Amino acid sequence: MKLVVVGFGQCGGRISDEFARLNARARSIRGLDIITGAYAVNTDIADLSGLHTIKSNYQHRILIGSRKTGGHGVGKINELGAEIAREDADKVVETIRSAKRFAETDAFLMIAGAAGGTGSGAISVMTQQIKERYVDKPIYNLIVLPFEHEEATEDRTVYNVATCLKSSYLVADAIFLVDNQRYAMKDSPISSNLAKINALIVQPFFNLLCAGEEKKSKYIGAKILDAGDIIQTLVGWTTLGFGRSKSSLLKSLFEGGRDFRMKASETQKGVQALDEAVSGLSIKCNPLDSKRALYLVSAPAKEINVDLIKELGTYIKNMAPEAIIRSGDYPREKGAMDVTIVLSEMHDVEKVRNFFTRAINLIAELKKRQEGLVSTQRGIDITIKDIPSLL
Ligand SMILES: Nc1nc2c(ncn2[C@@H]2O[C@H](COP(=O)(O)OP(=O)(O)OP(=O)(O)O)[C@@H](O)[C@H]2O)c(=O)[nH]1
Ligand SMILES: [Mg+2]
Protein backbone atom coordinates (compact mmCIF):
# COMPACT_ATOMS: atom_id res chain seq x y z
CA MET A 1 0.00 0.00 0.00
CA LYS A 2 1.31 3.42 -0.91
CA LEU A 3 0.51 6.55 1.06
CA VAL A 4 0.84 10.26 0.63
CA VAL A 5 1.75 11.49 4.12
CA VAL A 6 1.10 15.08 5.19
CA GLY A 7 2.05 16.32 8.64
CA PHE A 8 0.60 19.54 10.08
CA GLY A 9 2.27 21.60 12.80
CA GLN A 10 5.40 20.56 14.62
CA CYS A 11 4.22 17.17 15.81
CA GLY A 12 2.67 16.24 12.46
CA GLY A 13 5.69 17.46 10.53
CA ARG A 14 8.12 15.45 12.60
CA ILE A 15 6.11 12.26 12.30
CA SER A 16 5.77 12.82 8.55
CA ASP A 17 9.56 13.18 8.51
CA GLU A 18 9.73 9.79 10.26
CA PHE A 19 7.56 8.30 7.49
CA ALA A 20 9.99 9.71 4.94
CA ARG A 21 12.74 7.79 6.76
CA LEU A 22 10.57 4.67 6.78
CA ASN A 23 10.34 4.88 3.01
CA ALA A 24 14.08 5.32 2.68
CA ARG A 25 14.47 2.15 4.75
CA ALA A 26 11.94 0.23 2.62
CA ARG A 27 13.86 1.29 -0.47
CA SER A 28 17.30 0.46 0.77
CA ILE A 29 16.63 -2.87 2.46
CA ARG A 30 13.66 -4.15 0.44
CA GLY A 31 13.72 -2.23 -2.84
CA LEU A 32 10.13 -1.09 -2.26
CA ASP A 33 8.33 2.24 -2.25
CA ILE A 34 5.58 2.73 0.32
CA ILE A 35 5.32 6.52 0.47
CA THR A 36 4.61 8.44 -2.74
CA GLY A 37 5.22 11.78 -1.06
CA ALA A 38 5.99 13.07 2.44
CA TYR A 39 5.08 16.67 3.26
CA ALA A 40 5.15 19.03 6.23
CA VAL A 41 2.75 21.96 6.47
CA ASN A 42 3.26 24.59 9.15
CA THR A 43 2.75 28.22 10.12
CA ASP A 44 6.17 28.16 11.74
CA ILE A 45 9.34 28.51 9.64
CA ALA A 46 11.66 27.30 12.40
CA ASP A 47 9.75 24.02 12.80
CA LEU A 48 9.95 23.37 9.05
CA SER A 49 13.68 24.00 9.08
CA GLY A 50 14.20 21.49 11.88
CA LEU A 51 13.11 18.48 9.79
CA HIS A 52 15.68 16.03 8.42
CA THR A 53 14.39 13.76 5.67
CA ILE A 54 11.49 15.53 3.96
CA LYS A 55 12.87 17.36 0.94
CA SER A 56 13.77 20.88 1.93
CA ASN A 57 12.17 22.69 -1.02
CA TYR A 58 8.99 24.76 -0.63
CA GLN A 59 6.98 22.11 -2.46
CA HIS A 60 7.56 19.65 0.40
CA ARG A 61 7.92 21.93 3.42
CA ILE A 62 4.91 24.14 2.94
CA LEU A 63 4.60 27.38 4.90
CA ILE A 64 1.03 28.59 5.34
CA GLY A 65 -0.47 31.70 6.92
CA SER A 66 2.76 33.70 6.87
CA ARG A 67 0.82 36.95 6.46
CA LYS A 68 -1.14 36.28 9.65
CA THR A 69 1.56 34.76 11.85
CA GLY A 70 4.78 36.18 10.42
CA GLY A 71 6.04 32.58 10.28
CA HIS A 72 5.88 32.10 14.07
CA GLY A 73 3.02 29.65 14.62
CA VAL A 74 -0.47 30.27 15.99
CA GLY A 75 0.35 29.91 19.70
CA LYS A 76 -2.08 27.07 20.43
CA ILE A 77 -5.14 28.88 19.03
CA ASN A 78 -6.51 26.07 16.90
CA GLU A 79 -9.34 28.18 15.46
CA LEU A 80 -6.63 30.29 13.86
CA GLY A 81 -4.91 27.11 12.59
CA ALA A 82 -8.22 26.08 11.00
CA GLU A 83 -8.80 29.51 9.46
CA ILE A 84 -5.33 29.62 7.91
CA ALA A 85 -5.72 26.08 6.55
CA ARG A 86 -8.99 27.09 4.88
CA GLU A 87 -7.36 30.12 3.28
CA ASP A 88 -4.26 28.27 2.07
CA ALA A 89 -5.87 24.91 1.25
CA ASP A 90 -5.47 25.32 -2.52
CA LYS A 91 -1.75 25.86 -2.15
CA VAL A 92 -1.38 22.59 -0.23
CA VAL A 93 -3.67 20.54 -2.49
CA GLU A 94 -1.99 21.78 -5.68
CA THR A 95 1.47 21.04 -4.34
CA ILE A 96 0.57 17.48 -3.43
CA ARG A 97 -1.20 16.84 -6.73
CA SER A 98 1.74 17.97 -8.79
CA ALA A 99 4.03 15.39 -7.15
CA LYS A 100 5.57 13.02 -9.70
CA ARG A 101 4.25 9.74 -8.32
CA PHE A 102 0.92 10.96 -7.03
CA ALA A 103 -1.06 8.67 -9.37
CA GLU A 104 0.22 5.53 -7.61
CA THR A 105 -1.17 6.63 -4.24
CA ASP A 106 -3.70 4.33 -2.53
CA ALA A 107 -4.62 6.64 0.36
CA PHE A 108 -3.78 9.81 2.25
CA LEU A 109 -2.48 9.94 5.79
CA MET A 110 -2.71 13.30 7.54
CA ILE A 111 -0.95 13.73 10.89
CA ALA A 112 -1.16 16.26 13.75
CA GLY A 113 -0.82 16.74 17.48
CA ALA A 114 -4.32 17.44 18.87
CA ALA A 115 -3.16 19.75 21.66
CA GLY A 116 -1.30 22.35 19.59
CA GLY A 117 -2.70 25.12 17.40
CA THR A 118 -1.61 24.73 13.79
CA GLY A 119 -1.90 20.96 13.40
CA SER A 120 -4.93 20.61 15.64
CA GLY A 121 -6.83 23.23 13.65
CA ALA A 122 -5.59 22.39 10.17
CA ILE A 123 -5.93 18.61 10.01
CA SER A 124 -9.72 18.35 9.74
CA VAL A 125 -10.05 21.34 7.41
CA MET A 126 -7.43 19.92 5.03
CA THR A 127 -8.92 16.43 5.26
CA GLN A 128 -12.27 17.87 4.21
CA GLN A 129 -10.73 19.83 1.33
CA ILE A 130 -8.82 16.83 0.01
CA LYS A 131 -11.83 14.57 0.40
CA GLU A 132 -13.90 16.88 -1.77
CA ARG A 133 -11.31 16.67 -4.54
CA TYR A 134 -10.37 12.97 -4.35
CA VAL A 135 -13.55 11.05 -3.75
CA ASP A 136 -12.00 7.72 -4.68
CA LYS A 137 -9.06 7.72 -2.27
CA PRO A 138 -9.52 7.13 1.46
CA ILE A 139 -8.20 9.77 3.83
CA TYR A 140 -6.88 8.72 7.21
CA ASN A 141 -5.86 10.89 10.13
CA LEU A 142 -3.22 10.05 12.72
CA ILE A 143 -3.85 12.17 15.79
CA VAL A 144 -1.43 12.41 18.69
CA LEU A 145 -2.92 12.95 22.15
CA PRO A 146 -0.91 14.96 24.69
CA PHE A 147 1.12 13.79 27.67
CA GLU A 148 -0.80 13.95 30.95
CA HIS A 149 1.29 16.83 32.28
CA GLU A 150 0.14 18.99 29.35
CA GLU A 151 -3.51 18.50 30.30
CA ALA A 152 -2.87 19.52 33.87
CA THR A 153 -1.27 22.85 33.08
CA GLU A 154 -3.48 24.26 30.33
CA ASP A 155 -7.25 24.41 29.81
CA ARG A 156 -6.61 25.06 26.16
CA THR A 157 -5.14 21.56 25.81
CA VAL A 158 -8.43 19.83 26.58
CA TYR A 159 -10.38 22.21 24.37
CA ASN A 160 -8.01 21.78 21.43
CA VAL A 161 -7.98 17.98 21.70
CA ALA A 162 -11.77 17.73 21.86
CA THR A 163 -12.43 20.09 18.95
CA CYS A 164 -9.70 18.47 16.83
CA LEU A 165 -10.97 14.93 17.47
CA LYS A 166 -14.59 15.79 16.80
CA SER A 167 -13.85 17.64 13.58
CA SER A 168 -11.57 14.90 12.26
CA TYR A 169 -14.12 12.23 13.13
CA LEU A 170 -16.66 14.05 10.95
CA VAL A 171 -14.48 13.98 7.84
CA ALA A 172 -11.74 11.31 7.98
CA ASP A 173 -12.36 7.72 6.90
CA ALA A 174 -10.44 6.47 9.93
CA ILE A 175 -8.47 8.02 12.78
CA PHE A 176 -5.39 6.35 14.23
CA LEU A 177 -5.32 7.41 17.87
CA VAL A 178 -1.85 7.73 19.33
CA ASP A 179 -1.47 8.56 23.01
CA ASN A 180 1.90 10.14 23.81
CA GLN A 181 1.52 9.12 27.45
CA ARG A 182 1.51 5.41 26.50
CA TYR A 183 4.91 5.76 24.90
CA ALA A 184 6.27 7.69 27.84
CA MET A 185 5.28 4.87 30.15
CA LYS A 186 6.49 2.07 27.93
CA ASP A 187 10.12 2.75 28.52
CA SER A 188 10.92 5.52 30.94
CA PRO A 189 14.34 6.61 29.60
CA ILE A 190 12.68 7.62 26.32
CA SER A 191 9.87 9.57 27.93
CA SER A 192 11.41 12.88 27.04
CA ASN A 193 12.74 11.80 23.70
CA LEU A 194 10.16 12.66 21.07
CA ALA A 195 12.31 11.35 18.25
CA LYS A 196 12.29 7.86 19.74
CA ILE A 197 8.57 8.06 20.40
CA ASN A 198 8.01 9.05 16.77
CA ALA A 199 10.00 6.05 15.57
CA LEU A 200 7.82 3.78 17.73
CA ILE A 201 4.64 5.41 16.43
CA VAL A 202 5.63 4.75 12.82
CA GLN A 203 7.10 1.26 13.31
CA PRO A 204 3.86 -0.78 12.87
CA PHE A 205 3.36 0.76 9.41
CA PHE A 206 6.54 -0.75 7.98
CA ASN A 207 5.46 -4.34 7.35
CA LEU A 208 1.84 -3.31 6.97
CA LEU A 209 2.64 -1.12 3.97
CA CYS A 210 5.42 -3.28 2.52
CA ALA A 211 3.54 -6.61 2.49
CA GLY A 212 1.22 -5.75 -0.42
CA GLU A 213 3.96 -4.04 -2.46
CA GLU A 214 6.32 -7.02 -2.50
CA LYS A 215 7.31 -8.08 -6.01
CA LYS A 216 9.73 -11.00 -5.47
CA SER A 217 7.91 -14.31 -5.32
CA LYS A 218 9.98 -15.69 -2.45
CA TYR A 219 8.76 -12.87 -0.23
CA ILE A 220 5.10 -13.25 -1.12
CA GLY A 221 3.11 -14.97 1.61
CA ALA A 222 0.48 -17.70 1.40
CA LYS A 223 -2.06 -15.01 2.22
CA ILE A 224 -1.10 -11.55 1.01
CA LEU A 225 -2.30 -8.58 2.98
CA ASP A 226 -2.75 -5.81 0.43
CA ALA A 227 -4.15 -2.30 0.19
CA GLY A 228 -7.68 -3.68 -0.29
CA ASP A 229 -7.57 -5.55 3.05
CA ILE A 230 -6.21 -2.52 4.86
CA ILE A 231 -8.78 -0.15 3.35
CA GLN A 232 -11.60 -2.55 4.27
CA THR A 233 -10.34 -2.68 7.85
CA LEU A 234 -9.89 1.03 8.53
CA VAL A 235 -13.09 2.75 9.72
CA GLY A 236 -13.55 5.35 12.46
CA TRP A 237 -11.54 5.19 15.73
CA THR A 238 -8.54 2.96 15.20
CA THR A 239 -5.47 1.76 17.09
CA LEU A 240 -2.42 -0.24 16.06
CA GLY A 241 0.45 -2.10 17.66
CA PHE A 242 3.63 -4.02 16.91
CA GLY A 243 5.39 -6.87 18.71
CA ARG A 244 8.55 -8.80 18.03
CA SER A 245 10.15 -11.96 19.32
CA LYS A 246 13.64 -12.81 18.31
CA SER A 247 13.77 -16.15 16.56
CA SER A 248 17.52 -16.69 16.69
CA LEU A 249 16.94 -18.53 19.95
CA LEU A 250 14.77 -21.08 18.16
CA LYS A 251 17.45 -21.92 15.67
CA SER A 252 20.15 -22.47 18.24
CA LEU A 253 17.84 -24.61 20.37
CA PHE A 254 16.93 -26.99 17.59
CA GLU A 255 19.94 -26.77 15.33
CA GLY A 256 19.81 -29.09 12.35
CA GLY A 257 16.31 -30.52 12.70
CA ARG A 258 12.80 -29.17 12.36
CA ASP A 259 11.17 -31.38 14.92
CA PHE A 260 7.75 -30.93 16.52
CA ARG A 261 9.19 -28.96 19.43
CA MET A 262 10.42 -26.29 17.08
CA LYS A 263 6.99 -25.92 15.49
CA ALA A 264 5.36 -25.59 18.90
CA SER A 265 7.96 -23.08 19.88
CA GLU A 266 7.30 -21.01 16.73
CA THR A 267 3.63 -20.81 17.66
CA GLN A 268 4.63 -19.73 21.14
CA LYS A 269 6.90 -17.03 19.73
CA GLY A 270 4.06 -15.77 17.55
CA VAL A 271 1.72 -15.55 20.52
CA GLN A 272 4.40 -13.76 22.50
CA ALA A 273 4.83 -11.18 19.71
CA LEU A 274 1.06 -10.75 19.47
CA ASP A 275 0.87 -10.26 23.27
CA GLU A 276 3.45 -7.53 22.99
CA ALA A 277 1.59 -5.88 20.08
CA VAL A 278 -1.68 -5.88 22.04
CA SER A 279 -0.17 -4.56 25.26
CA GLY A 280 1.60 -1.85 23.26
CA LEU A 281 -1.44 -0.61 21.29
CA SER A 282 -1.21 3.10 20.47
CA ILE A 283 -4.07 3.96 22.84
CA LYS A 284 -5.62 2.14 25.80
CA CYS A 285 -8.86 0.56 24.64
CA ASN A 286 -11.09 -2.41 25.07
CA PRO A 287 -10.70 -4.74 22.05
CA LEU A 288 -14.27 -5.91 22.66
CA ASP A 289 -15.38 -2.54 21.29
CA SER A 290 -13.82 -3.04 17.87
CA LYS A 291 -15.75 -4.20 14.84
CA ARG A 292 -12.81 -4.73 12.50
CA ALA A 293 -9.34 -6.12 13.06
CA LEU A 294 -6.28 -7.11 11.10
CA TYR A 295 -3.05 -8.94 11.86
CA LEU A 296 0.08 -9.54 9.89
CA VAL A 297 2.81 -12.04 10.75
CA SER A 298 6.24 -11.42 9.39
CA ALA A 299 9.01 -13.98 9.90
CA PRO A 300 11.45 -16.10 7.88
CA ALA A 301 9.41 -18.27 5.49
CA LYS A 302 10.18 -21.54 7.24
CA GLU A 303 8.93 -20.26 10.57
CA ILE A 304 5.48 -19.36 9.31
CA ASN A 305 3.12 -22.32 9.46
CA VAL A 306 -0.62 -22.98 9.39
CA ASP A 307 -0.82 -23.71 13.12
CA LEU A 308 0.78 -20.38 13.93
CA ILE A 309 -1.66 -18.38 11.78
CA LYS A 310 -4.59 -20.36 13.21
CA GLU A 311 -3.46 -19.84 16.80
CA LEU A 312 -3.10 -16.08 16.32
CA GLY A 313 -6.50 -15.91 14.60
CA THR A 314 -8.13 -17.69 17.57
CA TYR A 315 -6.39 -15.36 20.02
CA ILE A 316 -7.77 -12.28 18.23
CA LYS A 317 -11.22 -13.78 17.77
CA ASN A 318 -11.44 -14.37 21.55
CA MET A 319 -10.20 -10.88 22.26
CA ALA A 320 -12.48 -9.09 19.77
CA PRO A 321 -15.39 -11.49 19.17
CA GLU A 322 -17.49 -8.96 17.27
CA ALA A 323 -14.75 -8.02 14.81
CA ILE A 324 -14.38 -9.04 11.18
CA ILE A 325 -10.78 -10.22 11.13
CA ARG A 326 -8.41 -10.00 8.18
CA SER A 327 -4.94 -11.46 8.18
CA GLY A 328 -1.80 -12.07 6.18
CA ASP A 329 1.69 -13.49 6.33
CA TYR A 330 4.83 -11.90 5.03
CA PRO A 331 7.89 -14.15 4.77
CA ARG A 332 10.47 -11.40 5.03
CA GLU A 333 12.09 -10.90 8.41
CA LYS A 334 15.43 -12.37 9.32
CA GLY A 335 15.99 -13.59 12.87
CA ALA A 336 12.69 -12.29 14.23
CA MET A 337 8.99 -12.96 14.27
CA ASP A 338 6.96 -9.76 14.06
CA VAL A 339 3.25 -9.28 14.53
CA THR A 340 1.41 -6.11 13.52
CA ILE A 341 -2.16 -5.63 14.70
CA VAL A 342 -4.88 -3.08 13.87
CA LEU A 343 -8.16 -2.72 15.76
CA SER A 344 -10.68 -0.47 14.04
CA GLU A 345 -14.28 0.78 14.07
CA MET A 346 -14.16 1.05 17.86
CA HIS A 347 -17.45 2.31 19.18
CA ASP A 348 -15.94 3.47 22.48
CA VAL A 349 -12.51 4.72 23.53
CA GLU A 350 -12.50 5.89 27.13
CA LYS A 351 -9.80 8.50 26.72
CA VAL A 352 -11.57 10.15 23.77
CA ARG A 353 -14.89 10.13 25.59
CA ASN A 354 -13.23 11.78 28.62
CA PHE A 355 -11.82 14.57 26.50
CA PHE A 356 -15.29 15.31 25.12
CA THR A 357 -16.87 15.33 28.59
CA ARG A 358 -14.17 17.55 30.05
CA ALA A 359 -14.39 19.99 27.12
CA ILE A 360 -18.17 20.28 27.55
CA ASN A 361 -17.69 21.06 31.27
CA LEU A 362 -14.97 23.53 30.46
CA ILE A 363 -17.11 25.37 27.91
CA ALA A 364 -19.98 25.60 30.44
CA GLU A 365 -17.54 26.93 33.05
CA LEU A 366 -16.13 29.54 30.64
CA LYS A 367 -19.64 30.65 29.75
CA LYS A 368 -20.44 31.13 33.42
CA ARG A 369 -17.28 33.15 33.95
CA GLN A 370 -18.09 35.28 30.92
CA GLU A 371 -21.63 35.94 32.12
CA GLY A 372 -20.19 36.97 35.48
CA LEU A 373 -17.95 39.41 33.69
CA VAL A 374 -20.79 40.84 31.63
CA SER A 375 -22.97 41.42 34.67
CA THR A 376 -20.21 43.27 36.59
CA GLN A 377 -19.61 45.41 33.52
CA ARG A 378 -23.28 46.15 33.45
CA GLY A 379 -23.04 46.99 37.14
CA ILE A 380 -20.28 49.56 36.61
CA ASP A 381 -22.05 50.98 33.59
CA ILE A 382 -25.13 51.56 35.70
CA THR A 383 -23.34 53.35 38.57
CA ILE A 384 -20.97 55.31 36.31
CA LYS A 385 -23.69 57.53 34.95
CA ASP A 386 -24.05 59.24 38.35
CA ILE A 387 -20.36 60.25 38.49
CA PRO A 388 -19.56 63.72 37.10
CA SER A 389 -17.22 63.70 34.10
CA LEU A 390 -14.28 66.08 33.68
CA LEU A 391 -14.51 66.08 29.91
N1 LIG B 1 4.78 12.22 19.58
C2 LIG B 1 5.11 13.50 19.40
N3 LIG B 1 4.38 14.47 19.94
C4 LIG B 1 4.74 15.76 19.72
C5 LIG B 1 5.86 16.11 18.94
N6 LIG B 1 5.97 17.46 18.91
C7 LIG B 1 4.94 17.93 19.63
N8 LIG B 1 4.18 16.91 20.13
C9 LIG B 1 2.94 17.01 20.88
O10 LIG B 1 2.05 17.82 20.11
C11 LIG B 1 1.34 18.74 20.93
C12 LIG B 1 1.69 20.14 20.52
O13 LIG B 1 1.47 20.31 19.16
P14 LIG B 1 2.49 20.99 18.16
O15 LIG B 1 2.55 20.12 16.96
O16 LIG B 1 3.76 21.34 18.84
O17 LIG B 1 1.70 22.32 17.83
P18 LIG B 1 1.56 23.03 16.41
O19 LIG B 1 0.60 22.27 15.57
O20 LIG B 1 2.92 23.28 15.84
O21 LIG B 1 0.81 24.41 16.79
P22 LIG B 1 1.39 25.83 17.25
O23 LIG B 1 2.83 25.65 17.66
O24 LIG B 1 0.49 26.24 18.38
O25 LIG B 1 1.25 26.73 16.07
C26 LIG B 1 1.75 18.40 22.34
O27 LIG B 1 0.79 17.54 22.90
C28 LIG B 1 3.10 17.71 22.20
O29 LIG B 1 3.33 16.80 23.24
C30 LIG B 1 6.63 15.05 18.36
O31 LIG B 1 7.62 15.25 17.65
N32 LIG B 1 6.20 13.78 18.61
MG1 LIG C 1 4.31 24.88 16.33
The Cα–Cα gap between 338 and 79 comes to: 41
Structure confidence at residue 247 (pLDDT) = 64
Structure confidence at residue 191 as a pLDDT band (50, 70, 90): very low
- Residue of minimum CA distance from atom 3 in ligand 1: 11
Q: Are 21 and 123 in contact (CB under 8 A)?
A: no
Structure confidence at residue 1 (pLDDT) = 97
Q: Ligand 1 in contact with 117 (CB < 6 A)?
A: yes
- Residue of minimum CA distance from atom 7 in ligand 1: 11
Nearest to 185 by CA among 148, 131, 132: 148
Which ligand has the shortest distance to the CA of 195? 1
Q: Is the pTM value of this prediction over 0.85? A: yes
Structure confidence at residue 190 (pLDDT) = 47
Q: Could you tell me which residues are beta bridge partners of residue 292?
A: 324, 344
Greater confidence (57 vs 73) lies with 57
Ligand 1 centroid vs 138 CA: distance in angstroms?
Answer: 25
Dihedral (Cα; 230, 136, 15, 352), 10-degree rounding: -70
Dump pLDDT digits (tens) for 229-240. 999 999 999 999
Is pLDDT at 227 greater than 50 in this prediction?
yes
Q: Are 299 and 336 in contact (CB under 8 A)?
A: yes
Structure confidence at residue 258 (pLDDT) = 57
The residue-averaged pLDDT of 16-43 equals: 97
Q: Ligand 1 in contact with 144 (CB < 6 A)?
A: yes
Q: Which contiguous run of DSSP H or E holds residue 378? A: helix 350-384
Ligand 1 centroid vs 116 CA: distance in angstroms?
Answer: 5
Structure confidence at residue 259 (pLDDT) = 61
Dump pLDDT digits (tens) for 333-390. 888 999 999 999 999 999 999 999 999 999 998 888 888 766 666 667 777 777 888 8
Structure confidence at residue 172 as a pLDDT band (50, 70, 90): very high
Q: Ligand 1 in contact with 113 (CB < 6 A)?
A: yes
Percent of the chain with pLDDT over 70: 92
Ligand 2 centroid vs 284 CA: distance in angstroms?
Answer: 27
> In sequence order, which residues have a C-beta less than 8 Å from that of residue 357 and are 6 or more positions away?
none
Q: Are 259 and 318 in contact (CB under 8 A)?
A: no
The pick from 11, 111, 147, 191 for probing ligand 1's pocket by mutation, whose C-beta has the most ligand atoms within 8 angstroms, reads 11
Dump pLDDT digits (tens) for 318-337. 999 999 999 999 999 888 99
Query: Buried b vs exposed e over 259-279: b needs ≥16 C-beta within 10 Å?
Result: eeebbebbbebbbebbebbbe
Structure confidence at residue 94 (pLDDT) = 93
Average pLDDT, the chain: 91
